Amino acid sequence: MILLGVAVMVVIAVVAIVLTVKDIRANRSMSPRALMTFCAAGIVAAATIAYAVI
């Protein structure tokens, strides 16, 4: 279960990085979609760490 959480976190983080790079190359600030994706990666990371601790 922990490995699944880590895998999901990595996939979401990669998507967030790709979206951010697209925004940077288009010379605009971070889009709300990229920001929400970073937040989702953080939430999955926190849930995975909490599950590992418990």
How confident is the model at residue 28, as a pLDDT?
A: 85
How confident is the model at residue 6, as a pLDDT?
A: 85
Q: Residues near 44 by Cβ (< 8 Å), separated by ≥ 6?
A: 5, 8, 9, 12
Average pLDDT over every residue of 34-51: 88
**Confidence band, pLDDT 50/70/90 cuts, at residue 30:** confident
User: What is the value of pTM for the model shown?
Assistant: 0.76
Average pLDDT over every residue of 31-49: 88
List, for residues 3-27, the tens digit of each pLDDT value. 888 888 889 889 989 988 998 898 8
Q: Are 29 and 23 in contact (CB under 8 A)?
A: yes
